[in-house]
A and B are shown apart, each in its own frame.
Chain A
Amino acid sequence: FFLSHLQRNMGPDQYTHTKKMGTLPTKQEAEGHADWKDAEHRMGTSIMAVQFKGGVVLGADSRTTTGSYIANRVSDKLTSVHDRIYCCRSGSAADTQAVSDIVRYYLDVHSAQMGEAPEVHTAATFFQKLCYDNKNALSAGIIVGGWDKHDGGSVYCIPLGGALVRQPFAIGGSGSTFIYGYCDANFKEDMTRDECHEFVRNALSLAMARDGSSGGIIRTAIIDENGVERFMLPGNQLPTFYEN
């Protein structure tokens, strides 16, 4: 019993345990911490989209990181793929940009052929197809939100594996884990436009307060029959809650 306990505390080889106690870090080890030089751009992110009576509200934080360096503190993670269809992007910045560009192209062709605006469901299906078929290569968590004349406002969530789920509201990104409770407690069906906007801003503010990978400003987009209206809430004007 005593021997096995010793062995469990050992590192990969029999000397690692003692080596760690009193040696200086090697140059390689020291430089390893500077991963921001080489790391991929990621969007740690807090994103969400909520359906209200007559449309949807989409919201996102604005932090893009490469490792621990904030590459862009005012990023726009709300991307238009058509006149009244937007998507919230989380995960790899490159992957989500590439995918949304392709979807934008497909929707463009499709709406030209149809002679009318595409449905949000169609956009979501395109996203799903790309995310699922390329699931091994991509790191993309996307929320699609928009308005169309058949279904009104609708929100679709496409998480990492490429599933497609329609929900009355959807949250995503690393910051979303901290606000599941808040959202479940405060979401109501058929909110008004302003109620919904406030709900999104409060939720994102809470997420940004707790998630290191989220922060900056809150960007929102409200989409309804009449079009898209975009808002920006500066970091020093975010709604505040308990702050210890």
Chain B
Amino acid sequence: MLVKGSEKRIFTVAPHAGMALTGLLADGRQIVNSCRDEAQQYKRFYGQAIPGKMLNQRISSYIQYFTLHDSVRPFGSSVILASYDKSGPGLYMIEPSGVSYGYRAVAIGQEKQVAKTELENLDFTTITSREAVMEIAKIIYKIHDDVKDKEFELELSWVCAESNGKHEHIPEDLLAEANKVGKQNLEADQFGSDEEMEI
């Protein structure tokens, strides 16, 4: 009965940066709002887009603040921050404690361990944005447990050279293809094909 596309968990925080949430989404959405403010303030003051690592620093400090006082509770949401600036692409993950690292690939949420294992198989030096889209789709479908988990909707966004450095949800046709690839890969697995992921 859920309307498709009504519950998004990936947001654009600046033209060149996006954020994905897990955990308490309401908390996560507050982080997104703060992130948007931060990016806009930086632009107003410095006259340029906030670099990924600066945005990461600021959001981490902001989230950490809520661990200092007993009048507030920490955010119940981990976030993944993706950016594309003059130094190239950046990927960061910030936990409720405020700790954050830069990553080549990262996973958060219920099945993050399984996802991380799958991600480790990828070759980060050669993979293209489109290939990465397909790989992620395969992984998401793979770790989804039909029995335990509810029905899911795949949501994918990117910020890369192909999107001209803008963060946006991937084009409709690419999303359709990603869904198809994800399902096909699952079926292939079920028929006992080789466990190795195609790259």
Contacts and interface: CB of A to CB of B under 8 A. Distances in A.
Interface of A: 110, 113-115, 119, 121-122, 124-125, 128-129, 150, 164
B54 A125 contact: no
Contacts of B86: 150
Contacts of A121: 47-48
6 contacts: A110-B46, A122-B46, A122-B47, A125-B46, A125-B48, A150-B86
A115 B45 CA distance: 18
B40 interface: no
Contacts of B47: 121-122, 124-125, 128, 164
Contacts of B53: 114-115
B57 interface: yes
Contacts of B54: 113-114
B21 to A, nearest CB: 26
Interface of B: 45-48, 51, 53-54, 57, 86
Given A113-B57, A119-B48, A121-B47, 5 more contacts: A110-B46, A121-B48, A122-B47, A128-B47, A150-B86
Contacts of B51: 114
A218 to B, nearest CB: 32
Nearest to A110: B46
A113 B57 CA distance: 9
B70 to A, nearest CB: 29
Contacts of B57: 113
A110 B46 CA distance: 10
A125 B44 CA distance: 10
A228 to B, nearest CB: 23
Contacts of A110: 46
A164 B47 CA distance: 11
A121 B86 CA distance: 13
Nearest to B47: A125
Nearest to A125: B47
A137 to B, nearest CB: 20
Contacts of A115: 53
A229 to B, nearest CB: 27
A150 to B, nearest CB: 5
A208 B57 CA distance: 49
A110 B42 CA distance: 11
A110 B54 CA distance: 10
Q: Ordered nearest first, which 9 A-B pairs have the shortest CB separation?
A: A125-B47, A150-B86, A122-B46, A125-B46, A121-B48, A114-B54, A122-B48, A121-B47, A113-B54
A163 to B, nearest CB: 13
Nearest to A115: B53
A111 B197 CA distance: 43
Nearest to B45: A129
Nearest to B57: A113
Contacts of B45: 129
B158 to A, nearest CB: 23
Nearest to A164: B47
A124 B46 CA distance: 9
Contacts of A129: 45
A129 B48 CA distance: 13
A121 B46 CA distance: 9
A129 B45 CA distance: 8
A156 to B, nearest CB: 11
A150 B88 CA distance: 11
Nearest to A122: B46
A128 B46 CA distance: 10
